[in-house]
Amino acid sequence: MDELKVYFNGVMVPGSEARVSVFDHGFLYGDGIFEGIRAYEGRVFKLAEHLDRLYDSAKSILLEIPYTKEELSEAVCATVRANNLQDAYIRLVVSRGKGDLGLDPNKCPVPSVIIIADRIALYPEELYLNGLQLASVSTRRPATDVLNPSIKSLNYLNNILAKIEANLRGLPEVVLLNHQGYVVEGTGDNIFIVKNGELLTPPVYAGILNGITRQCVMELARDMGIPCREQNLTLHDLYNADECFLTGTAAEIVPAVGCDGRVIGDGMVGPITKQTLEAFKRYSRSTGVPVYDKNVATA
Ligand code: PMP
């Protein structure tokens, strides 16, 4: 297979030549931000929304991205093109850049901007058909006044600690609670439950990443006439839900059929989950910023 081409501070370079300094504060401190984006069939899905979230994260950490959204949008498309990809997982990283061993960001004058586009490794089809088992873990999501989970920061140690708990239990994904004991999200996905025909998901203020897939699912549900609300959820709500699923760019929509040994609903993937999954599949493959053909409609 040909070596991947990586966008690195305005130039496309072979992957092996894309090197970040050991003095980059993204490496030393996790000081930076990122986005995980998908392309389906040659179109980048929700690119504007991902760029908006990236710039919001940047603003919160006082990091000035040295490109406009239009320039980065073109750079994302150029990276997919350079690698001749149709379906891709795209990682857009802006780290604080090279500084010294102190943590002062003022010592880092030039951010590092990196875009990697690669083939997407899909989860086993079995998970989507039969649903996964979840567990709640002891790792808590940080409070919004500690390190706001709405900032998509390069520091994913909190999520990794939860992932380690998942690995120790042999589970693909787990749910994290916040310090009030409310269910907030997975290590890399948002969570929805269905109760009495209604879709419920934790509010952003509970301390979650406001997922692009989450927002898309909420819109699709409303279009399909399925009532959808943000509401704080407890483990009791999750155990007694009729249905449950997780949403994220990489995972898309994954049904969950059990948590902490409790069977969710009847233990099968439910009708609203199936309907939402189908609607998302259709929608995601019929919209997006075209990478190759400029005449295709954008969204
Ligand atoms: N929560 C966390 C912690 C995540 O890392 C992700 C993946 N970006 C999500 C939720 C889902 O967000 P999105 O749908 O934008 O990928």
Residue 297: its pLDDT value, please? 47
Cα 150 to middle of ligand 1, angstroms: 10
Percent of the chain with pLDDT over 90: 95
- Whole-model pTM? 0.96
- Report the distance separating Cα 5 and Cα 18, nearest Å: 9
CATH tag, 125-284: 3.20.10.10
Q: 9 burial class (0-12, 13-18, 19+ CB within 10 angstroms)? A: middle
Q: Which of 96, 125, 128 is nearest to 110 (CA)?
A: 96
Cα 107 to middle of ligand 1, angstroms: 30
3-state secondary structure of 100: coil
Continuous segment of H or E residues that includes residue 277: helix 271-284
* Residue reference for tokens 């699912």: 217
Rg (CA), the chain: 19
Q: Which of 162, 169, 164 is nearest to 140 (CA)?
A: 162
> Regarding the domain delimited by 5-118, which CATH topology (the fold level of the hierarchy) does it fall under?
D-amino Acid Aminotransferase; Chain A, domain 1 (3.30.470)
Q: Across the strands, what pairs with 35? A: 92
Q: Which of 116-130, 187-201, 221-235, 251-265 has the lowest mean pLDDT?
A: 116-130
Residue 72: its pLDDT value, please? 98
What are the residue ranges spanned by the domains of the chain?
A: 5-118, 125-284
Cα 270 to middle of ligand 1, angstroms: 23
Contact 224, 275 (CB under 8 A): yes
5-118 and 125-284 have identical folds:
no
State ipTM: 0.99
- Report the distance separating Cα 134 and Cα 256, nearest Å: 7
Angle at 119 between CA 114 and CA 124, to 5 degrees: 130
Q: Which of 45-59, 87-101, 119-133 has the lowest mean pLDDT?
A: 119-133
**Closest residue CA from atom 10 of ligand 1:** 189
Q: Is 202 in the pocket of ligand 1 (CB under 6 A)?
A: no
